[in-house]
Amino acid sequence: MEQADRYMSEDPSAIFSIHVGQTFKPYVWKASHDMDFRSECLYCDSETLKGYKVEDEFGNLGRIATCPDCDRVNAKY
């Protein structure tokens, strides 16, 4: 289900524990807004995605694109 290849050349870290399709609440994680994407959500009708730099519970850093409407992770980048 990792269908986010359009945003990333390679997975920056296989141990980064946030996954595509997961519901993501930026305020629960150490997330900082990075950039916006003009791209359709894979899971709902939203046409924009928000990119965040995040740190997971193990301290691994990564970047993800999430939907502001349904809060699901669309991609890692």
Residues in contact with Zn ion by CB under 5 A are: 41, 43-44, 46, 67, 69-70
Shortest separation between residue 57's beta carbon and Zn ion, angstroms: 24
Whole-number minimum distance, CB 51 to Zn ion, in Å? 14
Q: Smallest distance, Å, CB 44 to Zn ion?
A: 3
The residue behind tokens 């807004």 is: 33
DSSP string, 6-33: GG-SS-S-TT----TT-B--TTTTEEEE
Nearer to Zn ion, 55 or 69 (CB): 69
**CA contacts within 13 A on the Cβ side of 23:** 2
